[in-house]
Amino acid sequence: MIFVTKNCKTVDSSQTVKAGIAIENGEIVMTAKNPLLPKAEVVFDAEETMFSQG
């Protein structure tokens, strides 16, 4: 099952990007701009909540 969280701010060591995250089997499989995210069974709208890996 694929879960997508869209409209969030993703943070890594060098930048903050408005994008979304795709999660499959409990692992992040993609970080991308919202239109590029895969179709998902469950979609969450994060309303610009910040996400970081780790």
The string of pLDDT tens digits covering residues 29-52 is: 998 999 999 999 999 999 878 888
Global pTM reads: 0.79
How much is the pLDDT for 6?
Answer: 94
Backbone φ/ψ region at 26: left (φ over 0), alpha (ψ -120 to 50), beta: left
CA atoms of 25 and 30, how far apart (whole Å): 12
Structure tokens at 21: 């995250």
Residue 54 pLDDT greater than 80, yes or no: no
Which domains, ranges and CATH numbers included, belong to the chain?
2-46 (2.30.40.10)
pLDDT at residue 24, as a whole number: 95
The encoded tokens of residue 5 equal 């969280």
